[in-house]
A and B are shown apart, each in its own frame.
Chain A
Amino acid sequence: MINKANVVIVGGGISGVSIAYNLAKKGMKDIVVIEKKYLASGATGRCGAGVRAQWGTEMNCRIAHESIKFYEKANENLNYERDIDFKQGGYLILATTKKEKEQFEKNLKLQNRLGIPSKMISSEEAKKIVPYLNTEDVVVATYCPIDGHINPFKATDAYALAAEKLGVKIYKYTEVLDIVIEDGEIKKVVTDKGDIETDIIVNAAGGYAKQIAEMVGVDLPVFSERHQILVTEPVEEMLGPMVMSFSKNLYCQQTPEGSFIMGRSGENEPTDMRITSSWDFLDKMAKTITHTLPPISELTVIRQWAGLYNITPDRQPIYGETKDVKGFFLAVGFSGRGFMVAPMTGLLIAEQIMGEENSIDISSLSLERFEKGELVFEPSVV
């Protein structure tokens, strides 16, 4: 292992590899990514990997929209020989209450102004997209054709290979144990395979972000909550879009190889880093989904698993350098959507490290917002 680097990135999930790639592309030398297991072994490899531009604030719409534009061309952009499997079948978001409908109307206005091709559709029109959709409790739906879902392992693989071609060193099965600081400045990272001297560290440790920040004495107002998900056996193509509903608490997609992947938020999920599976999830998921998409009753579930959402008080990510420790950058607290914004996470954090102006203003997402009480309000969170 090398013993000196310009930047050390903690975490080999989609955020870490995207930051590494973007930094290297900007000409930064001696970049290291440290991952305690294999790449995408954290939330990234456990997620639904849905990507949508349908958000409710200008900043989030722009971050998500730009990220989708990158993912559309990721195979070429990253010179990837395999395929990240971007199924751009849209997101069909179901509203079941009048209040939800009103919120969606506002969101659509904003999205359309920003060039996002989302639209409101009636339940009859929704049935044209998904003929067997049970619309009995659907008031209205929104549909955005550029949304979709991706293979998260391959997206991570694509970024990692491209980063390595640009000289980034990725150390897998290597754990960051401590960070040494002197006079508020970073000196080195201590790992189980040796120490690396550096001035700059990026915390991209997903569910473990709080523990990494503690190593430099920074207290992050985040917690990690288990989220569960399941997959069925593969069947012939029968679902184009990602079907999602905030009020019905579900999302469901059919991957290009034919399996259905679906999830929902649980009411009392543990926050002690556990990623076990529960019967309760399976039971509630089956009841919700077979009501909304009845033919799924006939599909066989073959596996359930879980991962961690790293959640902040306003459910918005924390981006940027900390005030108290110079050279300590955060890309954490994605609250369940770090995959879809990862291309921009990489670009924006790389811009900050290089001392460039950010291409989208993300100053409102700094850690200091919690101290100042300036929380960001986003109506479209799961």
Chain B
Amino acid sequence: MDQKTLEEKTIICRCSDVTLKEVRDLIREGYTEPDEIKRILRTGMGPCQGRTCGPLILREVAIMTGRTIDEIVPFTYRPPSKGIKMGAIAKGGELNDK
């Protein structure tokens, strides 16, 4: 597989179906922060909340902008730490893991 096909076929974010090519294109256009990429491509907005794509995007940004990972601000984590059904919360905070 050539580089281009590889970029097009590699899925970075499974929740929002985003490819490596889309992420790299956006970084090239100047959206060089994970938070900026997220707001255009929805990477990290799906059910897994960036648990898979977060580290991958950090690495891409680091490579393409020549920064180290710890110089880049990752996605913010927000509650709930695990998805909960609205009905369960309404009934009084029962967890839906039964």
Tell me the A residues contacting B by CB distance below 8 Å.
37-41, 45, 82, 153-154, 157, 231-234, 257, 259, 277, 279, 282-283, 286-287, 289-291, 296-305
How many angstroms from the CA of A21 to the CA of B2 in the assembled complex?
41
How many angstroms from the CA of A38 to the CA of B40 in the assembled complex?
12
Instruction: Among A234, A282, A286, A291, find the residue whose CB has the most chain B CB atoms closer than 10 A.
Output: A286
Q: Which of B16, B39, B42, B47 contacts A300 (CB 8 A)?
A: B47
Cβ B83 vs Cβ A233 within 8 A: yes
Residues of chain B with a CB closer than 8 A to A279's CB: 79
Residues 42 to 98 of chain B near chain A (Cβ within 8 Å): 42, 45-47, 49, 78-80, 83-87, 89-90, 93, 96
- Interface size counted on chain B using CB atoms at 8 A: 23
Cβ A38 vs Cβ B47 within 8 A: no
Known: A82-B40, A304-B78, A305-B78. A290 touches B46 (CB 8 A): no
How many angstroms from the CA of A297 to the CA of B94 in the assembled complex?
13
Pull 23 A–B residue pairs with CB atoms less than 8 Å apart, ordered by A: A37-B35, A39-B36, A40-B39, A41-B35, A82-B40, A153-B40, A157-B39, A233-B47, A234-B46, A277-B79, A282-B89, A283-B93, A286-B89, A290-B86, A297-B85, A298-B85, A300-B47, A300-B85, A301-B84, A302-B46, A302-B49, A302-B80, A303-B49
Tell me the B residues contacting A by CB distance below 8 Å.
16, 33, 35-36, 39-40, 42, 45-47, 49, 78-80, 83-87, 89-90, 93, 96
Residue on A nearest B92 in the bound complex, by CB: A283
Cβ B42 vs Cβ A257 within 8 A: yes
How many angstroms from the CA of A178 to the CA of B85 in the assembled complex?
47
